[in-house]
Structure 1
Amino acid sequence: MVIKGEYVNIKGSKIYYLEIDKESSKDTVILLHGKRYNAYDWINSGIAESLSNEGCKVICLEFPGYGSSEECDLEKEEVLLEFAKSLNISSFHVVAPSFSGEISIRFALKYGNMLKSLTIVDSINVDKYKEKLNEIYVKTLIVWGRKDKIAPYEFAEILKNNIKNSTLFVFENLGHTCYFDDAKKFSEVLINFIRA
């Protein structure tokens, strides 16, 4: 597995990402991160490698002000848009835990036509978007730890009940970082969803 660390310039800010490239891949998966994490956590957890082994091109993006990325004035969903444009990625799968889950909801509402699929994991602030979630038509996987004390399980139900083309997977005994706490199972569920 060859991991490249690169910077891309977005509106004058250097934005950092890791890439595990599969030249023959038809699928690009962009992994976003929670507030306490960065691109390398996807590598260290083995999730990025699992996706790569399935033939996906995997990109781990660090949002402005996190990890090695510089601050940037753009809204974070616009950063994701500009990032995809700068790498000539016209459509992709996105995986978005915690605070990036909220960013991915905003992205799906604005630019859903660019998404092959959306995976929302223990997202914060879901209740803010309840009235708009029915405008998301992209295939969506909702993953939640039922014992989450940061983003309550009712958020998962709001997503499931309002996003038409959605599937819910629950880690019954895990909390907010369920995707890292059982990275093997999460990878398996994610890969099956992307491939379906």
Structure 2
Amino acid sequence: MLMDRSHYYCSTMNILGVNVHYEVYEKEKGKPTLVLIHGFLSSSFCYRKIIPLLEKDYTIITIDLPPFGKTEKSTKFVHSYTNMAKVVIQLIEALQIKKAFLVGHSMGGQVSLNAAKQRPDLFQKVILLCSSGYMKGVHPSLKFGSYVPYFYLCIKHWLASQGILKNLYNVVHDRTLIDQEMMDGYMAPFLDDKIFRALNRMIRDHEGDLPPEELKQIEQPSLLIWGNEDKVVPVPIGHRLKKDLPNSTFFSFQNTGHLVPEERPEHVTEKIVTFLSQAQ
């Protein structure tokens, strides 16, 4: 899908000591701001199909979270959800945006919830696309392994053994959607060996998802969108989040997997626009 690049720019910003890549789509000044946050082992590429559908109504900002996409693969950055949320917050503040909406896919959903919890004054509503939920911190043995020299090579070997096609099969229900452009786009960040060292650091820093008692403190309206065939974050997680988030709405698509922005771009866009246009 071709994008109109006449109102687009990309840049990097140093936040918390790491060079963060972001992209801005702004067809018209004064439109509400929509911040798109990708998931684990992904990048802003995952939103390529919904950006052209949303940019006529919103200013869109996509952020590649450390160490993914085109953002620096740092081994010094603390890759916790709390810090990733701070990256989002500080970038939005630096762009002098006073109010914004958040969209988070998978791990990006947890980052979005963290950001919304930290700054309820900045983020008015949250859309969660197959958001991770209730995952505990990394097992102590794996965390210990991250301190072993060259453990990052084990991570590289494991990801290589899975292969891009197998990974996409796991996240997409309709496999006919997988083409060369899709495989190349999701594979690109992993051509830089530095990402495996950064992922090793991420294992060490991962603190787990927000517990129910903290989710219940997030009062912003939230929309939860799921794929009924999600193998990565099954639908029951979405129903549980719906119960714990006090001002939330849940919707799921049939015959759809984990990568809902790729599989149902038009339908996801419709749900987002309707939700954001509602007075709360």
**What TM-score results when the alignment is normalised by the length of structure 1?**
0.91
Looking at structure 1, the residues matched to 227 and 249 of structure 2 have their Cα atoms a distance apart, in angstroms, of 14
Per the alignment, residue 64 of structure 1 pairs with 66
Choose the corresponding residue for 2:38, options 33, 36, 41.
33
Contact 2:16 2:87 in 1 (8 A): no
Which one of the candidate residues 101, 105, 109 is aligned to 1:93?
A: 101
Q: Kindly indicate whether residue 61 of structure 2 is the aligned counterpart of residue 53 of structure 1.
A: no
**Alignment size in residue pairs:** 193
Task: Please say if residues 145 and 175 of structure 1, whose CA atoms lie closer than 8 Å, have aligned partners that are also in contact.
Answer: yes
Matches of 2:261 and 2:212 in 1, distance apart?
Answer: 24
> What RMSD over aligned residues (CA atoms) do the two structures have, in Å?
1.6
Structure 2 equivalent of residue 178 of structure 1: 260
2:84 is the alignment partner of 1:76: yes
For residue 67 of structure 1, report the CA deviation from its aligned partner: 1.1
Larger Rg: 2
In 2, the alpha carbon distance for the partners of 1:154 and 1:130 equals: 15
Of residues 227, 250, 256 in structure 2, which corresponds to 1:145?
227
Please identify runs of 4+ aligned residues in structure 1 that moved more than 3 A: none
How far apart are the structure 1 equivalents of 2:90 and 2:25? 20
8 A contact 2:229–2:255 mirrored in 1:
yes
After superposition, give the CA deviation of every residue in 1:32-91 in whole Å (9 maximum; x if it has no partner).
Answer: 111232223323x1x11211112x100111111111111333611111111112111222
Q: 1:141 is matched by which residue type in structure 2?
A: L
Question: Is residue 12 of structure 1 aligned with residue 14 of structure 2?
Answer: no
What amino acid maps onto 2:23 in structure 1? Answer: L
By percentage of residues, which structure has more helix?
Answer: 2
Q: Which runs of 5+ in 1 are unaligned?
A: none
Q: Which amino acid aligns with 2:32?
A: D
In structure 1, what residue type is equivalent to 2:33?
Answer: T
Q: Report percent identity of matched pairs.
A: 24
Q: d(CA) in 1 for partners of 2:29 and 2:92?
A: 19
Q: Distance in 2 between matches of 1:176 and 1:40?
A: 15
2:134 matched to 1:126?
Answer: yes
Instruction: Return the alpha-carbon distance in structure 1 between the equivalents of residues 275 and 134 of structure 2.
Output: 22
Contact map agreement 2:46 2:261 (CA 8 A) in 1: no
Relative to the length of structure 2, the TM-score reads: 0.65
Provide the rounded CA distance (Å) in 2 between the counterparts of 1:69 and 1:141: 28
Cα displacement (A) at 1:195: 1.3
More strand, by proportion: 1
5+ residue gaps, structure 2, are 136-208
